[in-house]
Structures are given as C-alpha cells and as structure tokens.
Structure 1
Amino acid sequence: MAEETTDVLIVGGSMVGLAQALFLARQGIRPLLVERHAEISAHPRAQAASPRTMELMRALGLEDAVRANENPHAHYGDVLQAESLAGPELGRFDGPFRHDPNDVGGTGWTLIGQDRFEPVLRDRAVELGADLRFGTEMTGFTQDDDGVTAVLRGPRGGGGPVEYTVRAEYLVAADGFRAPVRSSLGIGRHGQGVFGRQMNIVFHADLDPYVAGRTFFLCFVNNERVKGVLGKLGGDGSDRWVLAPSLPPGARHQEYGTRECVELVRAAVGVPDLPVRIESATSWEIAAWVADRFRSGRVLLAGDCAHVMPPTGGFGGNMGVQDAHNLAWKLALVLRGRAAPELLDSYEQERAPVAEFTVDQGVIRYLQRSGLDEAAAARHRPETTVLFGHVYRSGAVIAEGGPDDGAPVEDPTAPSGRPGTRAPHLPVVRAGKEMPLHDLFDGGFWLLAGPEGAAWESACAADALPAGVSFHRVGAQEPGATVERFLTRYGVDASGAVLVRPDGFVAWRSRDLPAKPAEALLTALGRILGRVSE
C-alpha cells in the first residue's frame, strides 16, 4: 500500500508545473508537486508572460504581483542591435512584446523572466493549499486502470532523503524538454528537430557606462567572438545581467568554465578588461517538435515535455501555462464525479492541434532571422492570432452545423463567437464596476445572455445541472454600444446566450431563447461533461 495518497501528482516544478498546481488549487484540488531541484532556477529562460497568460493571472488576482516583478528594462520595449554593447550600433527594431493594438485581450504582455514569474506562481499555489516539494525526485512509477503509484525520493518529516510511495488518481508530467516521463511511456515525438543550442550566462558587472543612457529591452550582439542576446535582470542590485550566446554545433555549456564565460561576456560588452563575476551558466536546445500523444492512461503531458518550439515570439512557456489551465478544470470536475472520465480525452483533442500550429509559428519567426522561403512566409500569422485565435474541436465543445475548414485558428480581430473559440473580449459591468469579461472566468462555467435573455437566469439555478453555472446578462448595466458588440461578436440575438467554459472558451451557443431554456442548458452541459450522449 502507498504511504501517501493524492488526487493529482505533478512532476516538475518550473513554470508549467507551478501553474498546474496553482490552477488545480484554485479549483479546490490539493495537488502534490515534486521537483528534483532544491529551489527555483535563477535563470530567466522564458522572458515574457503573454497577454493570454496575463488574462489568466488577472482572473486570479495576480496581475499586479506579476507586473511588480517585471524586468528592469521592460518598459523600453524595443531591441538594440550592435556589434557589442560598447561597439557600433547596427539598428533597432520593435520588440515582439508590444501592447495589443487590436484590443483583442483585456491586458498586454508582461516582460518578466521565468525566474521572477515562478515565485509568484509558487507563493499563490501554496497559499491555496498545494503541496510543493522541492528537492524531491520521482524515481519511477506504474499505472493501472485506477491510478498511478509513484516512487519518490526526498526529504520527509524533517529528516534526510528517503524513498517512499505515493498513490495518485492522475499524474501530470511537466518535467521539461528532456521529458523522462514521456520517454518512459514510449511516446515518441515529431517535428523539425534541433536547430542549435543556446547558453545562458547569469553574471554581475557594471554595464551602465556602456549602456550610456540608451533605452532598450534587449541588446542583440553579433561579432566574431560571440552572437547572442544581452538583457538586464532584476534582483541583487543593478549589476545583474544575462548573456544568451549561441553555441557551436555539438557544444555544451559544461565545456565553458568561468574563464570562458567571462571572455564571452567581455566580447558581448566590447570591453576586454571588464570586471565580471559569473553567477551560473546553463544551456538548452533550440528545437521544434510535438509529442505523438499528450496522454497515456492516467498520465497527461503538459508544457515542454509535450511540445518544444524556438524562443522567438515568446510562445513556448506561455503555451505550457495554457495547457495547465485547459487541463485543471477538467481534472477537477472528473475527480469530483461531476464529469465523466472521457472529458479528459478533450485535452489532447484540443491542445495538440494548437501545439502543432504554434510550434510552426515559432519556427517561422526563428527562420526570419536568416531569410524565409515563400512557403514558410505564407504560413505566418499575426501575433494576436497565435495567442488568441485557437479553435477547439472536441467532446467538450458542442459544434454547430455548417462548413468547417478545420483550421486550428481563426482571426480573433473578427471573432465568430462559435463554440470552440475563445470568448471574445468585452468590457462588462458587475456591481457597478466595469471590468474585462475574462476577469469573470476564475474557475467555473458562465452563461452570457443578451439584453432580452433574463429567462436564462433561472435555468442557471436549476438543481439538476451537473456543475455550477454563473449568469450575466449583457445589457443589464452595460451601455448600448457594448450590447451591440456582444451580439455581433457572439453571433446571438437579444434573447440568445452562450455557455463559456472555465477556461474562457465558448462551449455552446443558443442564438435565441428556446421554449425550454433550462432543459436546453442541462442537455448542453451534460454533453460537454460527457454525462449524456448526443
């Protein structure tokens, strides 16, 4: 018999694993997370939280906490190109992290390194009851039809490392691009493979004389000795920076000692005798691939173990956070018995096509640095489409009749409001206060009705519903312009309604008021949760 039990065991304590713990804890599930490293990594890795990720953070009340930890040069936005920081400038260009000019989302990018974002996720997850165990490694696991038995090794009860077993209903693998859990399950991967390897060197040096009052978020340096990116980090005063140089084919960061790292920093700054203190160094692959499956029985893959993409565009880590968000509400409803276990099938059905699309978009942006062939350039989609245009097709969406081109995205600047798409952004008024619509979506279903849809409210209060549904009538307090925007963007009449899932995606739409709204809502919710068939 296992020595401990938990509903969900999360393997991996970086951004995706911590987000998974946070989203589950917000749903009232107390997960157990294990991470083999003793603490959060000091390396920034992912450099930005996307508008979609910030939308999720805002709904959790964490927007201010995340923005308070932005990188020191975040507000500058643009990117400097130079031979070296002290050398000739080669140009400037707008960074990829500008505010959304199309008002598709309710919030913008936050330029925050992963090293500063992860503590915000960790602290809130712990506050909500998640059990996080750093310095603890999963050394093996087995699964059967009823759950997963994992062998863990780490400190326990105040003593030194010991080995013990945990029985979990489900296991979420968030163990990064090396993906030992995925490999042990025999799940393959496909894609374009490895493009190269990049190193991260965190160092301390006084670079103010060489910045010379110039404003930039990042500095791309390119000379005979080093090609890479310089960025200023927060913490430990004003002299902490990171250099991310490209490595030669086949090289690893372990081949670079302190002296070699100092030489790379000096070459990037352009000052041969610059005083430098190296804090740490690591490296990672620039690659593009997607796992062949996102699930094996009771084990589900999220983040880099399910998909890896080049860093251009800032999509990778944010995709992982959204994997976790998609999965959390489904796990919670299944664990509570409010949804059939088949609801979890929708996770791969929804996220795998989006991963394929987003990986391709990351590759396209990476190749833009060296010139694109026409076929790749033709596939390029705007940032807002990559971030907000996802179209889900699964058992957790009630599709409507009519033509469907099967595309994984649609243009979110001209939203259809159809089931499977993200609920279009809208300013709504609750208790006299205007707020972005997605602030409402913090864990449960919502029914949004038109101004003549008051009859839907009693349907949401029906005892027979398998899950709670909150109600908002657009027009009860909103001005006429907002009402018209709602009706147009959501494709409903004044008496119609849309059911929005806990992750902010439209699950079902009734264009007008049916004869029996409570029965219609009950049937729709039952189908979405796998409790009734079509």
Structure 2
Amino acid sequence: MGEPLPEETQVLIVGAGPTGLSAALCFAELGVDAVLVEARLSPHNAPSAHVINRRSLEVFRSVGAFDQVACGKGVGCPKELLWVSKVAERQFGSWGPPEAGIEIGAAMQNVPPGGPSRKNVGVPRMSPVGEQLNLSQPQLEEILADVLRQRHAPRAHARYGCLVEGVEQEDDCVTATVVQGGGAGGGEGRRCRVRCKYLIACDGARSPIRESLGILMESSVPLINPAAYDPKGGVIQTHVWIYFKADLTHLFNAPYGPALWWYHADTASGLIINYNGKDEWVVHAPFFPDEESPPHEWTEAECVRRVSDALGETPRDLAIKAKGQWQMTCNVATSYQVGRVFLAGDSCHRFPPSGGHGQNTGIQDVQNLSWKINAVLKGWASPALLDSYEEERWPVGRFNADQSARNNKQMAEIEGAIGMQPASPWKTLAEYRRSLEHLKTAKCNEKSLQQALQRSSPHWFSEGQQIGFTYEEGALVPDGTPCAQEALFPRQTEIHDGSVLIYEPTTRPGSRLPHLWVAVLRGEGLRRRGAADMEVPAHPLGPGPDAFPLGAVCAALHDCMALDAISLLTVDSGVDWDAVVPEVRRTCSVPLVHVHLLADGVGAATPKT
C-alpha cells in the first residue's frame, strides 16, 4: 500500500496525468506542501496525447523539467502529414512545414495566403524553448514523475493506487476520503481522510469530483458542426485504438517519419500516430459500440489484421501492445470552481485531438492556478484572487474547444475531396461502410483536396493560439487598448484563422511576456532553467558594439521573472527606480523582484527581499 498519506496538507491534487504532475511540480517549486494521488496503480501504459506545445514547454522550463522533457527521451519533431490509401500504397496528398508546402500527388504547390504564415517561420526565436515536441503521454508522465522525485523527494511524489471516494467542504478546508491501495477498481485498501486548504481535481474527462459537485459540461459543437453533434452525450465519434510496435523506417525518408498518416483502406479509414519516429505507433479508427464487439474481446489475430490493413503490409516484427476505445467529445465545464475545489485539465474541458490542445491547456491551467493559491496561502494576496482563475482560463478552454471542433470539421472536407461519401462523422456502421465502398471507385479531386488542405492550416500551425492568447478579464488592469492578437473573442463568436496562425508579440495587459535574450549583469536570484540557455542569443557575448558584456549570464527574459513573487520590469525612463522599488514593497506588502532592462537589451536583475 505504500507509505500512509498525511492527515493534512496545503493542497491535494487528484489525478497524476500530465496536468496533475505539472501541478505538483509547480507547487513544489513554490514551496507549497502538495500531495498528489492517483487511482491507477501505475502511470499510463499506452500512448494517448502526444503534442507538447511551446507554452507548455515554457511552463516546464520554469519548473526545471525542460531539459528532461526536450532531451531525455531523444524524441524527434516530425512535421510531415500524409493522406494515403494504405501506408505502403497510394498517396493522395501531404502537408509539410511552411518551407515545404503542400504536395498533391506528385505536384508541389506553394502555400498561398491563408496558409501557414511565412512571418512565423522564425517563431522559435519568439520563445526560449524552440519547436513544439512529439512525445507520448506515458513517456511524459514518466519524465515529470522522475523530475518531481529527483528535485523534491521525499516531500513531493506521486502516490498511485489512491482512490478519492468523496470530498467534503468547510469554510476553511476540504476533507477528502481516500482509499489507499485499492486502485481505480475500488478494491480493498486502507481508508483515510486527508484535510487540505485547497483541492485540485485533475481526475480526467469522466471526473467523479466534477460530477459530485454538480458541475455540468456544455458544448458549442451544435453551432460549429451540427452534423457531428450527438445530443445524448455530446459524443462526436467513438474510436478504437491499437498500440503496436514495428520498425516502419523503410516506409519513409524523413529523419523521423511523418507525424501523422491518415489512411483510407478497403475495410477501414483512420489515423496512425508516430510516437518515436521509428517503431512506436498507434492506429485509430471509427468504432460503433452498439454494432461491433468491444476491443477487449478482440484476439491478437484480429488486431494484426486491422493494423496490416492500415499499413498495406504485415511487418515481421509487428507486436500488439494494447488496445481500447475512446469517445471524441467537445465540452467545457460551466464552472471551474466550487468553494475550495478547482477543476483543471480534462476534468473541465474535453476537446477533439485536432490540433493537440487538450493536454497543453491542462498544463497551462495549473500553472495559472498554482501561483495564485501560493500567493493566498502565503498571505500576500486576498482569496478573491482565486476567482481570476476561472475568469482567465474558462475563455481559453472555450476557445481551444471551439477551434479543435473546427479543425475536426475540416478533416471531413479533406475526406470528401479524397472520395469518401458521406464523410465523417458516421452515425452507423452501415453508413461508414458505404463511405468506404464509395472510395473504392471514386477519383480524388486534387483541386478540392489542395483547397481543403489549405483551409486546414489552423490544425497544424497555431503559434497565435499557442502563445498569443490573451486574458481579457482576471488578475490584470486593462490599459484600454484593443486586443491586437484577436485570439479571444466573446463566447460563440467565429474565429479568424489569422489569430490562430500568427503570433504578434505584445506587452498589452493579459498577454504573455514576449521572449528576449538578455545578459544578466547582476542578480543572485536568477535560476538557469533549461538547455535553451545554450542557444546563441540575438547579440553574442564578447567584445564589440552589439555584444553582451563578457562574463555576463545569458538567459531568457522569462528566466528573470519570479515564480513566487511579483516581477517589476522597468526600462530607462528618468525614474530613480532604486528609490521607488523599496517604497513599492513597503506600501504593497508583497514580495517584489525588480528587473531593470537597459537600452541595449542587458538585464540587471536584483533578488527579492
């Protein structure tokens, strides 16, 4: 059963997926006592989420996990996307990075306006972390758990086999009843009660805690794609997945292979996801639970048949590792908070995987929430600050859900151009089979396919959505200027593709601080947080009119910002900041880090008092 859970803690985190592990890392870095419990007996053993975008990597950088996530597993960053009949057979079309463009059959087409923006080809320079990563969820969970253990043990680590049976709230605390050692199945175990100041439910899409609080989920899919909406439960399509290992490097030329293969075979169509660029893959296909036998009843021979049909061959080293089913939904919780209990990650938003925003939104949820809870617990902020969590993160969740639904709808247009009629989603097995039958004799409409691929740009290139979103309400003081990014609109408002594709750095309140490489002249409080510090900055170190001073520490401006204090960023303006800052500290009674940026891009950071 493991060591007993403590009777009291400041924060109890329920769920040790990427969101819960990220929350535990954030609180540990802030010095907050947090207990992380998970009903499963071990981490995930089959890949699910796999995209880690730039903003999430910046969060990992801030808590000391970036090096391990970016380098620890030797992951590549596949960029090519392919639409094929079978992987080893006919190719309908492909989509590459902006410099490669779209390929229809054998003809390469330039990306026109409305496609990926050439303006963002240099986006890695707009973030200290470079490109987004392709890393399977089990590997990410293993890495984050290791970082938590190595940096913060024995005070912080994931406790598996701990099922939260119930939650009770009082004015000043939350008490959770936990069965330790029973696992998700609710077996026999040690029952205990854990008191905490705040509880964060990261317990997944079916969140028992959310349901116990009476929080509902709402969907805007009826407005975006009415044909895809099932009013019974908001399910867009049920899918089956098969996790398999096989060396497929003979099927591609790129260093890491394509990121995704959409296949349209004789008996099935679906998606193959590349998890390590060599021999780890997952195949997804539509599934009709009312008309087909469940995956757990499938023999290995049946799984091999389905994988082979998608590939167009049966690899000699093919090994079936796991299988299961999942439901594609698109819902956002009507509330993210009830009293001292907060929802984060899949417990408060569920997206189609189109664009890879689900896991990333959850990681960024807890980064937002953790510093606010820390400020309240340490007494330098009012509990009213916690209301800003929902004010800021709900619009982001709604926006990402809606854009994911639009991305998914665009896939149907691509299917139609290839020859699948009717296109997804399919309500019945017979409808699905009719579409596959039509594909056998249909001719791919190359012009329509090219246009459909162009319109799918926000699915693949979303720098504006990843790091350009803004908070319009919350813990901020507006300056009265309009939102230049236009990444968030009022609820249920159509989104311009430009706001998703293009990132515009801005210092408007509510926006992410723009990235800048700086040379730190002094600052004992600075922590070097990632291998990206080794990248060549905009101005080299050494002598010369454009160089940083020799001996200075090269860092990202983000690194100079405090995790557990307010950062005051100033520039030369004739103000005697050395006199002003102490007065601000005395007046506001908050921990304050002063970062002064000189005109030549050199930062002078002074530690907090």
Is TM-score (shorter-chain normalized) higher than 0.5? yes
Shift of 1:445: 2.2
Aligned to 1:522: none
Change in 2 beyond 3 A, CA 1:44/1:356: same
Matches within 5 A, 1:446-457: 446-452=567-573, 455-457=576-578
Q: Does the alignment pair 1:176 with 2:199?
A: no
Shift of 1:273: 7.8
> Relative to structure 2, which stretch is displaced further, 90-99 or 199-208?
90-99
Aligned to 2:192: 164
Aligned to 1:472: 595
**Secondary structure of 2:126 counterpart:** coil
Matches within 5 A, 1:102-501: 102=123, 103-107=125-129, 108-126=131-149, 127-128=151-152, 129-155=155-181, 161-191=189-219, 192=221, 193-211=234-252, 215-234=257-276, 239-248=279-288, 250=290, 252-271=294-313, 276-371=318-413, 383-401=462-480, 409=488, 413-431=503-521, 432-441=552-561, 443=563, 444-452=565-573, 455-461=576-582, 462-475=585-598, 478=601
* CA distance, structure 2, for counterparts of residue 39 and residue 9 of structure 1: 19
Change in 2 beyond 3 A, CA 1:406/1:216: closer
* CA distance, structure 2, for counterparts of residue 104 and residue 409 of structure 1: 20
Aligned to 1:486: none
**Secondary structure of 2:33 counterpart:** coil
Shift of 1:255: 4.9
* CA distance, structure 1, for counterparts of residue 456 and residue 69 of structure 2: 35
Shift of 1:51: 0.7
Residue type of the alignment partner of 2:134: L
Say if 2:258 and 2:274, in contact at 8 Å, map to a contact too: no
Shift of 1:104: 3.5
Shift of 1:454: 5.8
Shift of 1:9: 0.7
Shift of 1:44: 2.1
Aligned to 1:494: none
Give a deviation string over 1:200-244, Cα, whole Å, max 9, x none: 322233434445788323322221223223244459xx6433222
> Relative to structure 2, which stretch is displaced further, 199-208 or 144-153?
199-208
Residue type of the alignment partner of 1:13: A
Residue type of the alignment partner of 1:433: V
* CA distance, structure 1, for counterparts of residue 398 and residue 71 of structure 2: 33
Give a deviation string over 1:94-115, Cα, whole Å, max 9, x none: 2699985344333221121111
> Relative to structure 2, which stretch is displaced further, 361-370 or 216-225?
216-225
Change in 2 beyond 3 A, CA 1:71/1:77: farther
Q: Does the alignment pair 1:40 with 2:59?
A: no
Residue type of the alignment partner of 1:144: E
* CA distance, structure 1, for counterparts of residue 271 and residue 456 of structure 2: 28
Say if 1:69 and 1:116, in contact at 8 Å, map to a contact too: no
> Relative to structure 2, which stretch is displaced further, 55-64 or 406-415?
406-415
* CA distance, structure 1, for counterparts of residue 557 and residue 269 of structure 2: 43
Aligned to 2:122: 101
Shift of 1:301: 0.4
Shift of 1:268: 1.4
**Secondary structure of 2:379 counterpart:** coil
Residue type of the alignment partner of 2:358: G
Aligned to 2:93: 91
**Secondary structure of 1:369 counterpart:** helix
Shift of 1:180: 1.1
**Secondary structure of 2:86 counterpart:** coil
Change in 2 beyond 3 A, CA 1:100/1:327: farther
Say if 1:71 and 1:112, in contact at 8 Å, map to a contact too: no
Q: Give ranges in structure 1 of 5+ residues lacking alignment.
A: 484-501, 503-534
Change in 2 beyond 3 A, CA 1:92/1:413: closer
Give a deviation string over 1:59-94, Cα, whole Å, max 9, x none: 33332211124575x344212322222222222212
Residue type of the alignment partner of 2:488: V
Say if 1:35 and 1:133, in contact at 8 Å, map to a contact too: yes
TM-score (norm 2): 0.71
Give a deviation string over 1:311-368, Cα, whole Å, max 9, x none: 1111110000000100000011111122111110000010001111111111111111
Shift of 1:286: 1.4
**Secondary structure of 1:392 counterpart:** coil
Say if 1:69 and 1:117, in contact at 8 Å, map to a contact too: no
Q: Does the alignment pair 1:63 with 2:66?
A: yes
* CA distance, structure 2, for counterparts of residue 438 and residue 394 of structure 1: 23
RMSD: 3.4
> Relative to structure 2, which stretch is displaced further, 243-252 or 306-315?
243-252
Say if 1:100 and 1:384, in contact at 8 Å, map to a contact too: no
* CA distance, structure 1, for counterparts of residue 133 and residue 197 of structure 2: 35
**Secondary structure of 1:371 counterpart:** helix
* CA distance, structure 2, for counterparts of residue 277 and residue 310 of structure 1: 28
> Relative to structure 2, which stretch is displaced further, 57-66 or 182-191?
57-66
Change in 2 beyond 3 A, CA 1:417/1:232: closer
Residue type of the alignment partner of 2:324: T
Say if 2:464 and 2:504, in contact at 8 Å, map to a contact too: no
Q: Percent identity?
A: 30
* CA distance, structure 2, for counterparts of residue 329 and residue 141 of structure 1: 23
Aligned to 1:518: none
Q: How many residue pairs align between the two structures? A: 473
Q: Does the alignment pair 1:20 with 2:23?
A: yes
Residue type of the alignment partner of 1:119: E
TM-score (norm 1): 0.80
> Relative to structure 2, which stretch is displaced further, 196-205 or 357-366?
196-205
> Relative to structure 2, which stretch is displaced further, 311-320 or 280-289?
280-289
Give a deviation string over 1:234-275, Cα, whole Å, max 9, x none: 59xx64332223323656543544332222111112125855
Change in 2 beyond 3 A, CA 1:171/1:100: farther
* CA distance, structure 2, for counterparts of residue 378 and residue 78 of structure 1: 14
* CA distance, structure 2, for counterparts of residue 430 and residue 165 of structure 1: 48
Change in 2 beyond 3 A, CA 1:85/1:475: same
Change in 2 beyond 3 A, CA 1:204/1:76: closer
> Relative to structure 2, which stretch is displaced further, 298-307 or 276-285?
276-285
